[in-house]
Amino acid sequence: MILDLWRTAPHNLLWPSTSVTQAGWFQRLADDGNHLWMLNAADVASRYTHNVLGWPRGTVQAINDHVFQISGNPGFCAIITLSQPLGRAHTVWTVAGVIDSTREPYIP
């Protein structure tokens, strides 16, 4: 299988923030010590597959600094692309693109 992964993340903001304004709100929460998981791209990717896709917790493998493969039970694999909508380092991450094996053809 050949996947064309994004060199830069798409401009979509899917989860947990869906706008730059909302990302700023989450950033203020993180600055105050809440939702610190949002500052870690791998944690955001893992939580997305669990909370949104409803999958059990899986193995997280970094493909690069903003693309992660999450795999778990046989047949469950997702490629999650993230972005930092505030446009700078050390800020919250947001899911920007998803390839989901339960919705897309998947050949191991």
Where are the chain's structural domains?
20-100
Max CA distance (Å), the chain: 43
Question: Up-side HSE of residue 65: CA atoms within 13 Å toward CB?
Answer: 7
Q: Tell me the pLDDT band of 9, cut-offs 50, 70 and 90.
A: low
Structure confidence at residue 107 (pLDDT): 38
pTM recorded for the entire structure? 0.84
Query: Is the separation of the CB atoms in 81 and 66 below 8 Å?
Result: yes
Length of the chain measured in residues: 108
Cα gap 16→27, rounded to integer Å: 12
Q: What is the mean pLDDT of residues 26-36?
A: 97
